[in-house]
Amino acid sequence: MALGIRELKQDIGPRIGRDDVPEVHQFMDRFFMSRIGIRMLIGQHVAMHIPNQPPSYVGLISTKASPVEISRNAVEDAQVVCRRAYGDTPDVHIYGDPKFTFAYVPTHLHHMIFELVKNSLRAVLVRYMKTSSDPPPIRVIVADGLEDVTIKISDEGGGIPRSGISKIWSYLYSTADTPSVSGNSRDMPSAMAGYGFGLPISRLHARYFGGDLQVMSMEGYGTDAYLHLTRLGNVQEPLP
């Protein structure tokens, strides 16, 4: 799908916003939301038949998912990718109650936090890599609310221009160079960013269970991403 979108970008030129080609983004949203639902159904069916499942799991759903622990694992994975791509990685500080748990799908949560932290790592490192200053740490804050569990990822990577905020949800837009399919397949920077699918698909994962993903940016300073997760139990799948 990413390669097809890249060829489409070459044909349509600079029209990369969601409002420029709405039919493309509507199709991609439906396609990936359906894919998330199908994978969830198949994975749940298979997981229910796995013997000796942990007592806190019901298929793919963990009734005692720890957002702090999942965030820690996602951060470590993102830092590995960043270190392979750029040779270094900023620090990440995680704030929250490690004993707090709620019902959620750990693989979904890991994917969303991984993508958001990966974006922040890249933004901070690119901004500070040519300076003598140490890159400031990225902050991951977990908040337990009555309705939602909210995770905030905050960085000082320079932010996004106000004119570009609407473009970050486009499948046709990326702040990084588009990876090449030719040459060495082990080119690690291509794994870091460039396809433009990370944020849109992460938002679909959040919305699949009634949550949402919002991004607030201050150009010249940094970006805050707010991941809202609805507690499971009373939300239907938003399938088309």
pLDDT recorded at residue 178: 55
pLDDT recorded at residue 109: 97
pLDDT recorded at residue 166: 82
pLDDT recorded at residue 156: 96
- Indicate which residues carry an active-site annotation: 111, 115, 118-119
Q: Which residue has the higher pLDDT, 126 or 193?
A: 126
The residues, ordered by sequence, that sit 6+ positions from 133 with a Cβ below 8 Å of its Cβ are none
pLDDT recorded at residue 237: 67
Q: How far apart are CA 101 and CA 122, in angstroms?
A: 29
- Long-range (24+ apart) CB contacts under 8 A made by 134-137 are 135/90, 135/91, 136/90, 137/90, 137/91, 137/92, 137/93
Dihedral pair phi/psi, residue 224, rounded to 5°: -115, 130
pLDDT recorded at residue 158: 94
Tell me which DSSP letter residue 145 carries: -
> How large is the angle between the packed helices 198-208 and 22-48, nearest 10 degrees?
60
For range 197-203, the mean pLDDT: 91
pLDDT recorded at residue 239: 62
Q: How far apart are CA 21 and CA 177, in angstroms?
A: 21
Q: Which of 49-58, 62-71, 166-175, 182-191 has the highest mean pLDDT?
A: 62-71
Whether 175 shows a pLDDT value over 80: the answer reads no
- Confidence tier at 172 by pLDDT (50, 70, 90): confident
Q: Give pLDDT tens digits for 9-36.
A: 777 765 565 667 788 889 999 999 999 9
- Confidence tier at 240 by pLDDT (50, 70, 90): low
For range 58-71, the mean pLDDT: 95
If you average pLDDT over every residue of the chain, what do you get?
86
Q: Give pLDDT tens digits for 140-168.
A: 999 998 889 999 999 999 999 988 888 88
pLDDT recorded at residue 185: 43
pLDDT recorded at residue 147: 87
Q: Give pLDDT tens digits for 178-195.
A: 555 554 444 434 455 545
